[in-house]
Structure 1
Amino acid sequence: MSTFAETIAAAARRLRAAGIETPERDARRLTAFAAGLAPERVTLHLRDPFPAGTALEAALSARERRQPVAQIIGGRMFCGRMFRVTPDVLDPRPETEELVAAALEEPFENALDLGSGTGCIILTLLAEQPSSHGVGAELSEAALRVARGNARRLGIDVCFILSDWFSAVEGRFDLIVSNPPYISAAEMETLQPETRLWEPRMALTDEGDGLGAYRTLATGALAHLVPNGRLLVEIGPEQGAAVSGLFQHAGLENIRIRPDLDGRDRVVCARAPAD
């Protein structure tokens, strides 16, 4: 029987041959998953016999088909918490943590997350400010089931609703956040297979120029923000000027663009007028 170290090395060679960009990292994560271990625990078992060949074979076969690792193992860490991930929801990205960080720079009493997906944004915000209240709006019933399950597992009280952006949203909020579909239809074919083939298309593109969701958000924001309330959205790296212009035209104020850790435009922040 092969050891953990030998198994990881063989899995990495197999994934590399399949064109996977991060074969060593993925091999380690999938080997840990197959053995029922946390990835950081694998180091303690490198010389031990590896007991889970059948489970690893299934995981490696899925990865060779370019299924994302998060879907294979069923979860992704986001802001220090594990969120269940399925093909019905967008895989949480590290870049989205910048949106959460920006939102947490000021306290809030009630927050609205539009296009919740896994619920990772609104659930993280409420976990970090447990005295606050939140609503997550999502058009996909399958995604809502995933988000509600994540809320139960994390023990966070939140209201998830089925809504096409603002259509079923009631009331006003001092914080609105969203990571909307911002990839243009023309760009979809350039995406990696892990994204293009396995993640929900409606969470990726508006089937237009990539700005459709921002137009909707700009149009409806003031009716759902309290005076001086904040609107924060994640954007593609080339969309800062266009989204800022849409927000300014809609009457939002104090508009600024916040970069991610790589220096790329990532979040547009705006406010409702104070009176």
Structure 2
Amino acid sequence: MTWQALMKEELERLRQADIPEADSDIRLLAMDVAGCTYSTLILRMAEEVTEKQAQRLHAYVTERMTHKPCQYILGTQEFMGYEFATAEEVLIPRPETELLVEEACRIAENWKDTPDGRKRRVLDLCCGSGCIGISFSKLRHGRDLVELADISDAAIALTKKNRERLQADCAVIQTDLFMQIEGKYDMIVSNPPYIRTDEIPKLMAEVRDFEPHLALDGKADGLYFYDKIIREAREYLYEDGYILFEIGQDQLDAVRGLLVENGYTDIKGIKDYAGLDRIVTARYLKSCVQ
């Protein structure tokens, strides 16, 4: 059997199982089995596959038919040009989250030297796989002191794994939000759980049945972690320090309101590639708090 025939056969299995984006999934899975890029695979379509390759792709597709995400099947996900390891107990990095890293880097590029010559400190809170903080550190070439924090054992283990595989100079802290955090930061970035509890059963099967609810559930109104982080972060931000969040598409006004109530200023919303509200940035000015 040729690659073309095998992929056609396995693609039909994905379609019959109502797998979303089946065409792109079969390409991704076949690329892993063939060990090459898709452009190279196209040139090999008339080649015969080995029995081992056919069995491996068939097994991948069988897993995918259960709606298990390809990122968990293959164990990796590209983010900001870096290949991150994934784990089933940890949220998969999303393309829209790259906007959070891009905005954090944009802000950092405008930083001037501190009066005392210290390095800037950056905290990635609720770090999950570590994709935000590690990417920021890599893109900034280690100019800042970056710390990544999460409550989950699995997230901490995966972040450490990604730190090593990408050779990032970051500290990793296991903590329930700020409980084990010390000192002040120039920037806090966070992609906290923000799905309303009653919305989780309505999510697509790939998310609902396979991704960790601990990383999704933002409690009844989806704002629990924003409210808590915004209030507590005031003790951990330097004067004029920045806070950046990823948000749900309908949460901009609510998160902006929480920021205003707690003395933050220069609040800005940023839309994602689909034109939906996705990122919020703000500065904390203690002198403005009444």
TM-score (norm 1): 0.96
Indicate if the aligned counterparts of 1:34 and 1:59 stay in contact, CA closer than 8 A. Answer: no
1:136 partnered with 2:137 = no
Q: Which residue of 2 aligns with 1:20?
A: 19
Superposition deviation, residue 86 in structure 1: 1.2
Higher deviation after alignment, 117-126 or 96-105: 96-105
RMSD: 1.2
Superposition deviation, residue 39 in structure 1: 4.0
Q: What are the ranges of 5 or more consecutive residues in structure 2 without an aligned counterpart?
A: 112-119
Please state whether the residue corresponding to 1:183 is helix, strand or coil.
coil
1:270 partnered with 2:282 = yes
Q: Which residue of 2 aligns with 1:65?
A: 66
Aligned counterparts of 2:73 and 2:224: Cα–Cα separation in 1: 31
Q: Which amino acid aligns with 1:105?
A: R
Displaced runs of 4 or more, over 2 A: 34-41
Which of 109, 128, 136 does residue 125 from structure 1 map onto?
136
Q: Which amino acid aligns with 1:189?
A: P
1:230 partnered with 2:231 = no
1:113 partnered with 2:124 = yes
Which of 140, 145, 157 does residue 169 from structure 2 map onto?
157
Please state whether the residue corresponding to 2:107 is helix, strand or coil.
coil
Q: Which residue of 1 aligns with 2:92?
A: 91
Superposition deviation, residue 35 in structure 1: 2.8
Q: Which residue of 1 aligns with 2:32?
A: 33
Q: Which residue of 2 aligns with 1:45?
A: 44
Please state whether the residue corresponding to 2:36 is helix, strand or coil.
coil
Aligned counterparts of 2:144 and 2:3: Cα–Cα separation in 1: 45
Aligned counterparts of 2:56 and 2:232: Cα–Cα separation in 1: 48
Which of 183, 191, 207 does residue 179 from structure 1 map onto?
191
Aligned counterparts of 1:200 and 1:41: Cα–Cα separation in 2: 35
Please state whether the residue corresponding to 1:268 is helix, strand or coil.
strand
Aligned counterparts of 1:233 and 1:201: Cα–Cα separation in 2: 19
Q: Which amino acid aligns with 2:245?
A: V
Aligned counterparts of 1:20 and 1:265: Cα–Cα separation in 2: 27
Aligned counterparts of 2:176 and 2:37: Cα–Cα separation in 1: 38
Q: Which residue of 1 aligns with 2:179?
A: 167
1:151-200 CA deviation, whole Å, 9 max, x = no partner?
A: 10101111111111111111111110000110001111110110011111
1:118-141 CA deviation, whole Å, 9 max, x = no partner?
A: 100000000011211111110111
Higher deviation after alignment, 121-130 or 254-263: 254-263
Indicate if the aligned counterparts of 1:171 and 1:224 stay in contact, CA closer than 8 A. Answer: yes
Q: Which amino acid aligns with 1:11?
A: E
Aligned counterparts of 1:38 and 1:200: Cα–Cα separation in 2: 30
Superposition deviation, residue 206 in structure 1: 2.5
Please state whether the residue corresponding to 2:279 is helix, strand or coil.
strand
1:240-262 CA deviation, whole Å, 9 max, x = no partner?
A: 00001011111111111111122
Percent identity over the alignment is 34
Aligned counterparts of 1:113 and 1:85: Cα–Cα separation in 2: 18
Please state whether the residue corresponding to 1:47 is helix, strand or coil.
coil
Aligned counterparts of 2:122 and 2:47: Cα–Cα separation in 1: 48
Aligned counterparts of 2:103 and 2:248: Cα–Cα separation in 1: 16
Aligned counterparts of 1:164 and 1:38: Cα–Cα separation in 2: 41
TM-score (norm 2): 0.92
Superposition deviation, residue 38 in structure 1: 3.7
Number of aligned residue pairs? 274
1:225-244 CA deviation, whole Å, 9 max, x = no partner?
A: 11111000000000000001
